[in-house]
Structure 1
Amino acid sequence: MALDPQGIAQLRQVLSQLYDGNVAPFEAARADSYTLHVPGQSRIAGRYQGAAETARFIARLSELSGGTFAVTRTAEICISGNWAMVPLRVTAAVDDLRLDMPAFGIWRFDGAEIVEHWTLHMDQYAFDRFVAAAEAPLP
């Protein structure tokens, strides 16, 4: 069921707070069956089911980037029906290795619960290369 205008405003606020670094409202709105989809061919690509797996993914991404991985909202959150799209910029730096590209967060919800999220990088090959290089042992 699609949300009414008040529900859309609440979801927009939850996602805005999440991208501003306040995860508590997101955690309260996240369904138990929440699934994170990470595309690509890197070792971190895949499907992460539930809060614990999602937390492990975020910790691994932070570890790979030396804590520098950042996602910044770059434009308004677009919501239609049961879907939201968030324009983003993704950045990270490890030694001389740099990642800086546009991306999108695609969200699906059921009523007031957030049930799925897809990360979409504008250059998936570059994202995969960054992950592979960040995983490589230092000489």
Structure 2
Amino acid sequence: MEEIVYFEDIAIGDGFDFGPLTVSREETVAFAAEFDPQPFHLSDEAAAQTHFGTLSASGWHTTALFMKMFVAEMQRQPGRQAASLGAMGVDELRWLRPLRPGDTLHGRSEVIDKKASQSRPEMGIVRSKVAILNQDDKPVLTMIPIAMWRTRPV
């Protein structure tokens, strides 16, 4: 097994890439139908009547696809996943351009801040800047997840 990457091992500036993942029309419509059934996420005809012009994925779908790619990368790095304790939330979530069926996404995460928890010595808090880009390397989503990381046992 890979060595566990504890909070103390993480440095500001550390980062990694993840993806790629191509989004299909079927999954775009299925996600929207269940979670964000606005007309421009469901049909080309409705989207043509808006600033989108063509079918676009829900921003929440884009965010979920980030998580899918991110977790897949974490699973390829078992030492990193072993110390991950989930997240407290997200700051500065921005959907910068529409995600279209057929787009291929990839992402980058870079640590921008970390601090030891004052109330829970078994964990630290790590903030990272995340960018999700399309196949043209144009940003589709940016955000700053606030993650909890296991500290090295004493």
Q: TM-score range by the shorter chain?
A: 0.3 to 0.5
TM-score by length of 1: 0.36
**Higher helix share goes to which structure?**
1
Taking CA–CA contacts closer than 8 Å with sequence separation of 6 or more, which of the two structures ends up with the larger relative contact order? 2
TM-score by length of 2: 0.33
